[in-house]
Structure 1
Amino acid sequence: MRSLNYVLTSVLLLIADGFTVHGPSAPLSASLGSSVVLPCYVDEALPVEDLEVEWRRADSETLIHLYQDGVGRPEVQQQDYHDRAHFFTEEIQLGNFSLRLDNLTAQDEGEYTCTVHSQQDFGETVAQIKDVERLLVSGSEESISAYVGEDVTLNCSVDSHITPEHIEVSWIRTDGDILVLLYENNETVPEAAHEQYRDRVEFFTAEIPKGNFSLRLKSVRTEDKGVYMCQVFAGDLSANATVVLGGLGE
């Protein structure tokens, strides 16, 4: 009888324990604009009937994504995550409830909770995103000097692993807010330049994949003297650096 009681107790404990939801063993890091997978899974497949999985921001309870009644429910996502948060739908029946988050922004840093409900049981795990790549832009600390008629380089370096297709760069002459040169949609747009600079400015195209958006200004004129700003936009982030084109000798 004692043996039977032990067996019954073991079975009841197994039922009470339900299932365990696993997550990442360490915080996740990724580059701005890239994708990251937030792990969430169970050891054995759960019945799809009555299965509900929800991902939320732990700091605000914002709903990131929901799986319910056998389908994903993107229509109930918070607006910022539309078209960015996805389940691996074919994996759900295997017990994989991981979430892929695309086009990362700095605001995506934080903790996320994956909660799994199945029949009378539930479990949850937490995933943390940290160290999303920041946008750092540097120029020249010292004033640039040149002789009239020479070519000059105005430095602008983007210290990030963001790929060029996720970046927009505008070189602006600050006194008058004049557009000197534009880079967007993964290409230079020379026709956007002000007529004063058209056909006299260019990027070092081969250097762009390395984050080098320095500007070559050809045949410098006395009226080119001034302060130039390299403005960089990537997603919701922006940063800039200035370069002073100073003494111009005859």
Structure 2
Amino acid sequence: MKMFVVFVILLHVSQHASALELYEGESLVLPCEFPTFELDSPTVVWSRSDLSPSTVHQRQLQGDELKDQNQRYSGRTSMKTDALETGDLSLNLTDLQLSDSATYTCSVKDKMIGQRRVTDVQLEVKEWFPSWAKALLVLLVLLVVSGGLLCHYRQYFMSVYKVEVDSGVESVQLICKTTVCLPKDAKVEWKDKNNRKVHVYENGSDQPEEQNQDYKGLTKMKRNLPGDLSLTLKNPTEEDTYTCTVYSREGNILLKKDVVLYVRVPQVEVDSGVESVQLPFNTTLHLPEDAKVEWKISSYTKVHVYENSSDQPEKQHQAYRDRTKMNEDLLKTGDLSLTLKYPTDGDNYTYTCTVYSREGNILLKKQVELKVRVPQVEVESGVESVQLPFNTTFHLPEDAKVEWKISSYTKVHVYENGSDQPEEQHQVYKDRTKMNEDLLKTGDLSLTLKYPTDGDNSTYTCTVYSRERNILLKKQVELKFTVCRVEVEEGAESVQLPFKTTQNLPEDVKVEWWEVSSYHKLHVYENGSDQPEEQHQDYRDRTKMNEDLLKTGDLSLTLKHPTERNSGEYRCGVYRKNIWIRGKTVQLKVKGRVQVQDQTGDIRNRSSSIDPTPLMADQSV
């Protein structure tokens, strides 16, 4: 079946050549798409038939394989890190040269399909200034500057290039080329946006003692004066702007160019509740046996350390103890991926993997951004109950312990030794939570929370422990309340604040409606009747609740003659023996009515959902 799907897809693959026209020094993407995710061990090859060797770029599942790459493309090609997983086999080619004009072929090899040519892309690279334009420019300069030369020491030239690479590449080339004649005794300085010296070349040699410490051993310059001053930067990890400046012996600026470097950081997204997540990092670089590998989220927070051919758990931050794992023989296979168990939104960081030599030099560096999605449950205040979902197919032991919490110390529900443990609950949640029977057998660890209010807004974490207190599973669910909104126009006879709950409430309950901002009581019902003496004076004779409200469960409040001053948030609370058992919040908006005098002197009413328009001083109402 799999072979049939691949064959059908191959019938639809276009092999017609497309044509692209660009200028030297620019970058481009050569497009190619193929469903390599249907294959077992695919290899993609970009090639030029007119070259020997013909390989422009090659990618395998393990990463780039560039040992047979034609040297004229060294450091100028890259592909997306997940190319073979997504089928996007496009090739990024930087610093275009006139000699790059050719037809490029994208091919896929696999034991299932053999070798297939996917597409051809024809590229034509043009000069920014043709020969006749350069000659004209020289002539104009000679005319403007009497007796001057194009190679004048005070000449200043600025241009900007953009380079984009994936985090984890071994190196990137920052292009700085010119056709301007530069003196052999010129000084070349590369700096970053923070004005730190990245590389210095002077008196015919590099000057490493002038480099900033962060760039030691990471740079190499072509030093092809007068034309190519490009810089190779190892292990790029962050976006930055690099400036190449050339000075004359007298300190005058002869040339200045900016290169903007963009480093694409791959993002891994998972849902809270998965058993583990992998942060990918594969390399084809030959790593020494005594190399050190560190995964970090900051300069001081170590997630995982591999050194002296084994893991070093004592060097980990305690938050990651027993939660991380790396592959065996990682230095031999080049698979430096990190597996992180029980991820939560507290693990949302950019993780950096750095490989060091025995001497402490950086050999490789890559960043991966982790995003853990926390599912959100929305419910309107006043509902009877809400369920926080958590289902798993993971086989749970009979002696497992299940805890729902909203913080490290506030336990919402505890299940252990085959039954609920209400004595471990926080008092706010007593008699308000419920979990399914046989939850360990069914894998349904969902929590039902009764009579939720907006005070229950929080992120709830469910953790499953083994008898030895090892974490088996972990999931987060965010509970968010939406407030019931009621709108009425000022002048209406009355408005109702709705609240319907369980029928046949106990006779000894107390029901209170109050204004949230001022705590003024609108209405109080207790001992089977209204308690008008407890009302705030502003609401005397203006409120009413249904008869038999305890039997019907209809606790709605009718407010008579609402005005714009009554706009705000109101809350109803139901108590029994001074213990809160349920409640609801209602947002009331009363749209004001403004009296406006028209040109005839008549008075009209106008409703407004915003502040009334002020009357003019000469208007009488």
1:189 aligned residue (214, 239, 247): 247
After TM superposition, the structure 1 = structure 2 runs for residues 161-176 of structure 1, keeping only pairs within 5 Å, are 163=160, 165-170=176-181
Q: CA separation in 1, counterparts of 2:98 and 2:41?
A: 35
Q: CA separation in 1, counterparts of 2:246 and 2:141?
A: 27
2:30 aligned residue (28, 38, 44): 38
Q: CA separation in 2, counterparts of 1:153 and 1:192?
A: 21
Query: Partner of 1:40: helix, strand, or coil?
Result: coil
Indicate the residue corresponding to 1:127 in structure 2. 121
Query: Partner of 2:125: helix, strand, or coil?
Result: coil
Q: 1:76 to 1:131 in 2, by over 3 A?
A: closer
Matched residue type, 2:47: R
Q: Give the drift of 1:106.
A: 0.5
Q: What stretches of structure 1 of length at least 5 have no aligned partner?
A: 1-10, 146-150, 173-178, 194-198, 210-250
Q: CA separation in 2, counterparts of 1:69 and 1:140?
A: 55
Q: What do the CA deviations read for 1:170-190 (whole angstroms, capped 9, x no partner)?
A: 278xxxxxx9xx998644523
Q: Give the drift of 1:51.
A: 0.4
Q: 1:39 to 1:188 in 2, by over 3 A?
A: same
Indicate the residue corresponding to 2:97 in structure 1. 105
Structure ranking higher in helix proportion: 1
Bigger Rg, which one:
2
Q: Give the drift of 1:109.
A: 0.4
Q: CA separation in 2, counterparts of 1:153 and 1:115?
A: 56
TM-score by length of 1: 0.53
Task: Report if the CA contact (8 A) 2:141-2:148 is conserved.
Answer: no
Q: 1:12 to 1:47 in 2, by over 3 A?
A: closer
Q: Give the drift of 1:103.
A: 1.3
Q: 1:64 to 1:168 in 2, by over 3 A?
A: same
Indicate the residue corresponding to 1:59 in structure 2. 50
Q: What do the CA deviations read for 1:99-129 (whole angstroms, capped 9, x no partner)?
A: 1111111100010111012342234210111
Task: Report if the CA contact (8 A) 1:24-1:38 is conserved.
Answer: no
Seq. identity, %: 20
Indicate the residue corresponding to 2:575 in structure 1. none
Q: Give the drift of 1:23.
A: 7.2
Task: Report if the CA contact (8 A) 1:41-1:97 is conserved.
Answer: yes
Task: Report if the CA contact (8 A) 1:22-1:125 is conserved.
Answer: yes
Q: CA separation in 1, counterparts of 2:42 and 2:29?
A: 21
Query: Partner of 1:139: helix, strand, or coil?
Result: helix
Q: 1:156 to 1:106 in 2, by over 3 A?
A: same
TM-score by length of 2: 0.24
Task: Report if the CA contact (8 A) 1:56-1:114 is conserved.
Answer: yes
Are 2:142 and 1:140 aligned? no
Q: What do the CA deviations read for 1:169-213 (whole angstroms, capped 9, x no partner)?
A: 2278xxxxxx9xx998644523269xxxxx9xx87x9xx89xxxx
Q: 1:71 to 1:47 in 2, by over 3 A?
A: farther
Q: CA separation in 1, counterparts of 2:141 and 2:37?
A: 64
Q: 1:90 to 1:15 in 2, by over 3 A?
A: closer
Matched residue type, 1:53: V
Matched residue type, 1:60: L
Matched residue type, 2:76: R
Q: CA separation in 2, counterparts of 1:189 and 1:168?
A: 16
**Count of residues paired in the alignment:** 173
Matched residue type, 1:166: K
Q: CA separation in 2, counterparts of 1:171 and 1:12?
A: 60
- Runs ≥4 residues deviating over 3 A: 11-18, 20-26, 141-145, 151-157, 161-165, 182-188
After TM superposition, the structure 1 = structure 2 runs for residues 4-83 of structure 1, keeping only pairs within 5 Å, are 16-19=7-10, 20-22=12-14, 26-42=18-34, 44-47=35-38, 49-60=40-51, 62-83=54-75
Q: Give the drift of 1:75.
A: 2.3
| Bigger shift: residues 98-107 or 136-145 | 136-145
Task: Report if the CA contact (8 A) 2:45-2:57 is conserved.
Answer: yes
Matched residue type, 1:140: L
Q: 1:162 to 1:28 in 2, by over 3 A?
A: farther
Task: Report if the CA contact (8 A) 1:36-1:102 is conserved.
Answer: yes
Task: Report if the CA contact (8 A) 1:32-1:162 is conserved.
Answer: no
Task: Report if the CA contact (8 A) 2:150-2:180 is conserved.
Answer: no
Q: 1:102 to 1:112 in 2, by over 3 A?
A: same
Q: CA separation in 1, counterparts of 2:74 and 2:141?
A: 45
Q: Give the drift of 1:59.
A: 2.5
Query: Partner of 1:89: helix, strand, or coil?
Result: coil
Q: CA separation in 2, counterparts of 1:162 and 1:106?
A: 19
Q: 1:16 to 1:169 in 2, by over 3 A?
A: closer
Query: Partner of 1:107: helix, strand, or coil?
Result: helix
Query: Partner of 2:249: helix, strand, or coil?
Result: helix
Q: CA separation in 2, counterparts of 1:170 and 1:69?
A: 46
Task: Report if the CA contact (8 A) 2:57-2:69 is conserved.
Answer: yes
Q: Give the drift of 1:78.
A: 1.5
Q: CA separation in 2, counterparts of 1:115 and 1:132?
A: 26
Indicate the residue corresponding to 1:90 in structure 2. 82
Q: What do the CA deviations read for 1:125-163 (whole angstroms, capped 9, x no partner)?
A: 101111333544231279759xxxxx7473759xxx975
Q: CA separation in 2, counterparts of 1:171 and 1:188?
A: 9
Query: Partner of 2:37: helix, strand, or coil?
Result: coil
Q: 1:156 to 1:130 in 2, by over 3 A?
A: same
Q: 1:75 to 1:162 in 2, by over 3 A?
A: farther
